Amino acid sequence: MTPGILALIVLALTIVGYIAGRQRALARSSASGERLHSLPNYYGQSVALFIAIPAYFLLGAWLFLQPVFIESQVSTQIPDSAIPEGSVRSLVMSDVRRIADGLDIIVDRGSLTETDLAGLSAETTSIRDMLANAGVALGSDVSVPVFEAAKSYRAIGKTGALARNILVLAAAIGFGLWAWSRIHPAMRARNVSETFIRALLMGSSLVAILTTFGIVGSLLFETLNFFGMYPASEFFFSTVWDPQFRGGSDLGIIPLLWGTFYVSLVALILAVPVGLMIAVYLSEYAGRSLRGFAKPAIEILAGIPTIVYGLFALITVGPFLRDWIAQPLGLGSSSSSVMTAGLVMGIMLIPFVSSLSDDIINAVPQSMRDGSYGLGATQSETIRRVIMPAALPGIVGAVLLAASRAIGETMIVVMGAGAAARLDLNPFEAMTTVTVKIVSQLTGDTEFASPETLVAFALGLTLFAFTLGLNVLALYIVRKYREQYE
Amino acid sequence: MTDVTAASPAAAQLKGGSLYERGERTRRRHTAERRFRALGLAAVTFGILALFGLLGSILYNGTSSFWQTYVTLDIYLDPAKLDKSGNRDPEELQKLTTFSYAPLISAAMAAKMEGAGIEIEGLNAKAAAEIVSKEAPATLRNAVLADPSMIGETVTFELLANGRVDGYYKGRVTMASAELDRNVSPQQLMLADALKDAGALSTRFNFAFFTAPDASDTRPEAAGLGVAILGSAYMMLIVLALALPIGVAASIYLEEFAPQNWLTDIIEVNISNLAAVPSIVFGILGLAVFINYVGLPQSAPIVGGLVLTLMTLPTIIIATRAALKAVPPSIREAALGVGASKMQTIFHHVLPLAAPGILTGTIIGLAQALGETAPLLLIGMVAFVREFPDAPPGGLFDPAAALPVQVYNWTQRGDPAFVERASGAIIVLLVFLIVMNGIAILLRRRFERRW
């Protein structure tokens, strides 16, 4: 029984429970002549909730925890001597998993029965060839302890699945019967089901916390793993980024941070003045018809996915900059460059900056404007000398938010900035950023045991820390500023 | 206080001339005013031009991908080559690879040239047949496998033309560039022109672009978006099924029930922070938790859907809370006043009134999720997938592509024909987004109530 079928069975039980609960309430009420405390549907609902929620919760938790449990059980079975030179336990364990999956395929095909499999030994048969026939390729021959571990991996998995099915069904039926048996007309069924639903609503709001825990947990865990293999001081202070797939890589973050910083700087230099001026012009000067056309147009820019900007950088802006500016001036011959990515990212940020500044400018009280006009200032003087200083904290907050977006942006830099890690001042050279390297280290075949892969998690943690810091700072500034005028 | 007035600059200026004449300083101030206005207008113009430049460049590069050149050939399906035993046994036909079909196309091309009286100097039979796509033998094979009774007859097939020949009719390839190109010769293009005159080669609307799966590096003409559109649709289904109920439930709790305490504060801060976490970090989460830890398959829509759900949740929660807040307290008070419980008030009265706002927010969140690329790269959606996933729920675990990732994938390939395809795919993606946002705007216009 797969988890999917199990979930469907629980769903069917839930429906049955609902009907049965409702019927029982009605029957008992008409038998005793007592009035029901709640509407009949609430009696059904209370039974249905007691069937579905514990069962689904148990199923989810089981699916999540079983892999860890099996892993720790099987992992202790492999003696240290079975781990080949230069390898680690987690690599051997991934072999074990693949062998177990391969055995599942073979048994499913019917070319091997469970009893045959129990008698099979890695000493007499070449498991590697057998699995290759089933479409599972293994890097090396299978040693006896590894094969035995794979067999017990399957065995524990099977027992686990059986226990799961029994327990989930038992929970559904048990709780259902209990809820059903306590139905009587005086029972406060509405209160029961409402308390239950309230708990569910609260549980849903905890998903946000769980997500944050998931992000921080996975990043921290793998980063610690990475620092176990690669010295942290090298990572933070080395100026060379040169991953090798055979080991001996230099994984210094400095060139990546420099690229990230440079691209973001170019983007902000374009986006902040333009976005700010757009906000000022549209809110203070533009007539109704221009605003009616320009405002949605700028908002459309904000709704376009970043992959579109990436393609724009790749096929239009990059070649244009190369052919018309970089090559004539002798500054470089690469179409992907800091300038390409920065300019396109700047365009992406314009609507972001302009809509944030628009809110901030509108929040400046009208009385300040009126005061300034009353003293004879022109419109632009009012904007520059009165509104801007008053709105400055908010605008700084908006710029910080834009910067955090720029740092975390991926597709534009992947397609526009290039892949060469370089410390250079020339903006027409290809450079690379933290996000580009996360993508390149984690796409394709990933083996979670080499520093070349795990470095992506350290990069991710750095990125997360930077953006989180910028956001918290920006939100703090914006909130402080709002209080000023409330 | 007369002495103070006399010392003020305004009085000093008055002394210098009439109020009706603008002084030097006033003129300077007015010039500055005009300059500032012009700068503002320039910024707005730049923003709008950027939008038009962006869309224009995509449309300019991409519209041609909706047209495709086809070659019409009468192919004799030779039984001596396809079915040596003569029993039309499907299993034996299955064993026959596309290599056995290629000569049939060569023969048909030679016959066509002879029939139409086309002779081109320096063009051998092999090169002549190469103006048909490398995908054509596979098309032929599939047709024969679907209907073995065709063997032995002459059937008219409309086959894809080679990508370069296709590019010739779209202006991407010229006689001069063909001279330098290893993959196509000017003679082949001349043959294509001659076939066009003879009516055997035509360019028509490219339906296969929406239905066909991806194709390998050497046959851009056969690459389509079928698997990607289906994969994206599956992911949207998952996002809708998970993010909408969880998001609405969380918003109801936070807006209506949550007590003012530290836990509520933490949840609120968390949600606003999650909205600002870079999307690629969600990809790392998906890889580490869903694939590596839980053991879900790579490239599967289920993983993509889960990651996008987590990304969309903050958007939906923020929109839903705004919609719930917009329902006036009088509605709640009226319901409570006639004896409804708090839960009944919310589910029977507040939620239905907030529904249009919630739906609008959900559609906008879905549109964002549809265009999201970076996290999908990390969970293996870049893999080359030619097989269509099965129907859900099983198909959710099959490998699939996604629309924006397909765009990225195509830009990473060598053949320039793929750039055209990528731009075409962007147009398809943008059309989906426009439709979704249009629905959201319509919903808002049609159902939104203001109290």
**More confident: A127 or A34:** A34
- Three-state secondary-structure class, residue B185: coil
Tokens, residue A74 = 């099987």
Q: Does the CB of B334 have a partner CB in chain A at under 8 Å?
A: no
Asked whether the beta carbons of residue B37 and residue A285 sit closer than 8 angstroms, the reply is yes
Low-confidence ranges of chain B (pLDDT < 70): 1-17, 393, 451
Backbone angles phi, psi at B161, to 5 degrees: -85, 155
pLDDT of residue A446: 59
pLDDT of residue B11: 47
* pLDDT at residue A201 greater than cutoff 60: yes
CA distances (Å), origin B396, targets A4, A86, B68, B408 = 12, 38, 32, 22
Contact residues for B290 (Cβ-Cβ < 8 A; gap 6+): B296, B303, B306, B307, B379
Tokens, residue B241 = 């099924």
B residues 49..68 contacting A (CB < 8 A): 50-51, 53-54, 57-58, 61
Contact residues for B430 (Cβ-Cβ < 8 A; gap 6+): A304, A308, B55, B58
Tokens, residue A49 = 């909730």
Q: Does the CB of A156 have a partner CB in chain B at under 8 Å?
A: no
A residues 74..113 contacting B (CB < 8 A): 97
* Burial (CB count <10 Å: 0-12, 13-18, 19+), residue B437: middle
Whether residue B414 contacts residue B217, with contact meaning beta carbons closer than 8 Å, is answered with yes
**More confident: B240 or A229:** B240
The rounded distance, in Å, linking the Cα atoms of B218 and B182 is 13
pLDDT of residue B348: 93
Q: At what angle do helices B417-447 and B403-411 cross, to 10 degrees?
A: 160
Q: Min CA distance, A445 vs chain B (Å)?
A: 9
pLDDT average, residue stretch A94-115: 76
Q: What is the CATH number of domain B226-447?
A: 1.10.3720.10
* Burial (CB count <10 Å: 0-12, 13-18, 19+), residue B425: buried
Residues in B closer than 8 angstroms to A315, CB to CB, are: 57, 61, 411, 419, 423
Q: Which of B44, B58, B363 to mutate to test the interface with A (most CBs of A within 10 A)?
A: B44
Residues in A closer than 8 angstroms to B366, CB to CB, are: none
Residue whose token pair is 């001596």? B80
Contact residues for A133 (Cβ-Cβ < 8 A; gap 6+): none
Q: Does the CB of A468 have a partner CB in chain B at under 8 Å?
A: yes
Q: What is the CATH number of domain A250-484?
A: 1.10.3720.10
pLDDT of residue B23: 83
Residue whose token pair is 């031009």? B49
Backbone angles phi, psi at A27, to 5 degrees: -65, -45
**More confident: A101 or B66:** B66
Backbone angles phi, psi at A89, to 5 degrees: -60, -40
Contact residues for B99 (Cβ-Cβ < 8 A; gap 6+): B137
The rounded distance, in Å, linking the Cα atoms of A226 and A230 is 6
* pLDDT at residue A139 greater than cutoff 50: yes
Which helix (DSSP H) or strand (DSSP E) does residue B69 occupy? strand B67-76
pLDDT digits (tens, 9 = 90+) for A36-68: 888 888 999 999 999 998 999 899 888 878 877
pLDDT digits (tens, 9 = 90+) for A159-170: 888 999 999 999
**More confident: A447 or A198:** A198
Q: Which of B19, B54, B239, B398 to mutate to test the interface with A (most CBs of A within 10 A)?
A: B54
Q: Does the CB of B436 have a partner CB in chain A at under 8 Å?
A: no
Whether residue B365 contacts residue B243, with contact meaning beta carbons closer than 8 Å, is answered with yes
The rounded distance, in Å, linking the Cα atoms of B198 and B109 is 13
Backbone angles phi, psi at B68, to 5 degrees: -145, 140
Mean pLDDT of chain A: 86
pLDDT of residue B154: 85
Asked whether the beta carbons of residue B426 and residue A208 sit closer than 8 angstroms, the reply is no
pLDDT average, residue stretch A14-33: 91
Q: Around Cβ B259, how many Cβ atoms within 10 Å?
A: 6
Q: Which of B59, B262, B284, B431 to mutate to test the interface with A (most CBs of A within 10 A)?
A: B284
Provide the pLDDT confidence category of residue A276 given band limits of 50, 70 and 90: very high
Asked whether the beta carbons of residue A439 and residue B293 sit closer than 8 angstroms, the reply is no
Residues in B closer than 8 angstroms to A63, CB to CB, are: 294
Q: Does the CB of B288 have a partner CB in chain A at under 8 Å?
A: yes
Q: Does the CB of B382 have a partner CB in chain A at under 8 Å?
A: yes
Spans of all domains in chain B:
65-206, 226-447
The rounded distance, in Å, linking the Cα atoms of A245 and A266 is 33
pTM recorded for the entire structure: 0.86
Asked whether the beta carbons of residue A281 and residue B41 sit closer than 8 angstroms, the reply is yes
pLDDT of residue B7: 46
pLDDT of residue A123: 67
pLDDT of residue B2: 44
Spans of all domains in chain A:
3-210, 250-484
pLDDT digits (tens, 9 = 90+) for A72-93: 777 777 777 777 665 666 667 7
Torsion angle of C-alpha atoms A61, A67, A68, A71, degrees rounded to 10? 160
